[in-house]
Amino acid sequence: MGNFMLSQLLNHGHDIRTLTLPRSAAPLHCMSVSAGYEQRRNEVYSWDGMQRGTAPFLVIQHTTLGEGRLDYAGTRYRLTPGKTMLVTMPHAHRYWLERGGEWEYFWMLLNGREALRLAREILDSAGPVLDPTSADVDRLAAACLDVLQMTEPSPGRASTAAYAAMTGLHDTAFGSRPAPERNLPASIARVIAHVEANIGAPLPVERLAGVAELSRAHFVRRFTAAIGTAPSDYVLEKRIEKVERLLLATEMPVATIAETCGFSDGNYMAKVLRRRRSMAPLEFRAAGRRASL
């Protein structure tokens, strides 16, 4: 295929499209909201990821010419031709055009909890700047062009374009790599399984060390080396992941979710969620529901 779809997008020319979709009785959770192919030259262009509202969404932006800049949580990146930026909102980042510079790119804006879940996996693995293959660039360009040229937009078509873009980034980030089994030592694998099966129960480090049949100090060293994070941090992240799933997929009260996920009370759970995701539980639920409409 080469860069056939990219050529088609470039031939289409500079354009921006926002989809207007009917409200769905059965919401889909990976949705295209808008797309564009733009050129910026010698102008003020700057986006702050903490000043774009509280509803979560993500931006995919692929550079075709010139150069943009990205500051992502304190790390600087140059967005040169062939590089694809992935960022979520709200988040501490800023991307901009340097004074006197030129930047040409195509982009897609997506929302929905499945789009955001995939984005978090990609960001955790590969960071916010990716180097897609020529074939994967074409997949991104085809998805963008689909939104720009879509006749009679529907939720299904908008979701198809969104998934096409996200699966292209997924293949760029993970390729043919298997899921991160990491050939874990048997002692650590037992602990991972124990945490998954008992996420609502107390999981102090001493208990996990007992499951691993190791001393506390030895267990913490081995677990951190194998997993890349300390045991207590791992447990907390798994609890928050379950909190998010229950907030979005159920109508369970906050206090019940806290108990189910192993938090001492709803207030503590809310404090942790606010620190991790910048939203209180009911705000997170409402934002996730809005993003899926």
Domain ranges of the chain: 4-174, 186-291
Find out whether 9 and 106 touch, Cβ atoms under 8 Å. Answer: yes
How confident is the model at residue 279, as a pLDDT? 87
pLDDT (tens digit, 9 = 90+) per residue, 162-172?
999 999 999 99
284: nearest Cα among 262, 260, 257, 259: 257
pLDDT of residue 286: 84
Residue 264, classified by CB atoms within 10 Å of its CB into exposed (0-12), middle (13-18) or buried (19+), is exposed
Q: Which residues of the chain carry a pLDDT beneath 50?
A: 1, 177-181
Which numeric CATH code is attached to 186-291?
Answer: 1.10.10.60
Residues 6 or more apart whose CB falls under 8 angstroms from that of 189 comprise none
pLDDT (tens digit, 9 = 90+) per residue, 37-72?
999 998 999 999 999 988 899 999 999 999 999 998
Give the pLDDT of residue 180. Answer: 47
Superfamily in which the 4-174 domain is placed by CATH: Regulatory protein AraC (2.60.120.280)
Element (H, E) at 108: strand 102-111
